[in-house]
Structure 1
């Protein structure tokens, strides 16, 4: 799926580091947004499209690890690449366990950083595609009537039309009619396809 141009966010309180990274990233062909603190970053409006965050651990207000925790749910489609001048093992482990894709030591190797950004943007792009698919599934499921949802639930559980009719107290012909509308509204090509959709919907609710 086509999204808007990727954006690389850079948060570092050292202006020389920000300017150096901004030049490097722009030269590689990406748009950048730079910030001197976590607060500045959080105040910036959300932007559409694939993104990644190049984040210094040590910041003047909220440190990088705490910022990671703050945006974990709200910006799950924004992979984080950490940078630190004195990263230790516990710090690295905490960042990686919380979902960071890389923890780089300053001075950062340019090629390693660019490779990490490429991977992060690809991951962000995939996450946005998944979110779009889930929204589409939710909208389709919301369009079902109560009876159609009941039929869908029993279809994906593996019951035959006759068994569904017995469970719901309706005729097999009526089940077939409801089932046909479910397949149409959910845009399912087959029962296995419908089962996958139901699983995706269930997973998105957790």
Structure 2
């Protein structure tokens, strides 16, 4: 078997990381327009004439956004927006419609849509909206990866190390932790060092931020707060729409 050249591997990696624009619209002319528009700025694009086809398509592991028509044959884009979370799809959504109104756009924005366009739309406005959506998804994916790393690090801690960590992030001193856990101060110091090492924390503020990302309570004496409940990607901002 002949190994693939480094240039081929690099090319494949670059392609895999290229952002993707998904388009769901039952109007073939609109799908063609958006396909051409996305390709003109060197983005990958996948088009579908129904939500069902979009859901059945294997998604690329890359920053993505969804351009979604409000009114589809036999389906509502707004209803589909509400269903996407059940499928674990969190990509930003840009809506478009030929029959929009203020109430419809407000409903879409409140549900998390990034933008809302009336057809026909200005191509540059759509390009700008796509760029904004992909930037947001890039940040979300980075936050997700960071949170996954923090969770993995926390799971590597022993039960005792978790007990020590919980108290360290409340600001307790080693001697206070030692007294509360009935340990020697030197033992607490060792556990604390292991916590900092396994959590890859440079200092206490960094450890506190990671504990907050995990959803770990920081109340002294509450031993029920030893297991984290992730709060979602830190750094994610609510979507804000711009056009009606």
| Greater RCO, 1 or 2 (C-alpha within 8 Å, sep 6+) | 2
Deviation at 1:205, TM superposition (A): 3.9
Deviation at 1:16, TM superposition (A): 0.8
The structure 2 residue matched to 1:198, chosen from 201, 204, 211, is 211
Matched, 1:123 2:149: no
Q: Superposition pairs for residues 105-124 of structure 1, below 5 Å?
A: 105-124=118-137
Q: Tell me, what secondary structure is at the counterpart of 1:204? A: coil
Unpaired runs of 5+ residues, structure 2, are 1-13, 216-228, 233-244
Deviation at 1:70, TM superposition (A): 1.0
Unpaired runs of 5+ residues, structure 1, are none
Distance in 1, Cα, partners of 2:85 & 2:69: 16
- 8 Å CA contact 1:37–1:61 kept in 2: the answer is no
Deviation at 1:150, TM superposition (A): 0.4
Matched, 1:161 2:200: no
C-alpha offsets along residues 85-105 of structure 1, whole Å, 9 cap, x if unaligned?
011111111110111110000
Q: Superposition pairs for residues 126-165 of structure 1, below 5 Å?
A: 126-165=139-178
Runs of 4+ in 1 over 3 A off after TM superposition: none
- Counterpart residue number, 2:105: 92
Matched, 1:15 2:38: no
Deviation at 1:62, TM superposition (A): 2.7
- Counterpart residue number, 2:44: 31
Count the aligned residue pairs: 204
- Counterpart residue number, 2:241: none
The structure 2 residue matched to 1:75, chosen from 89, 109, 117, is 89
C-alpha offsets along residues 56-77 of structure 1, whole Å, 9 cap, x if unaligned?
001113311111111136112x
Distance in 1, Cα, partners of 2:191 & 2:208: 16
- Counterpart residue number, 2:74: 61
Deviation at 1:108, TM superposition (A): 1.2
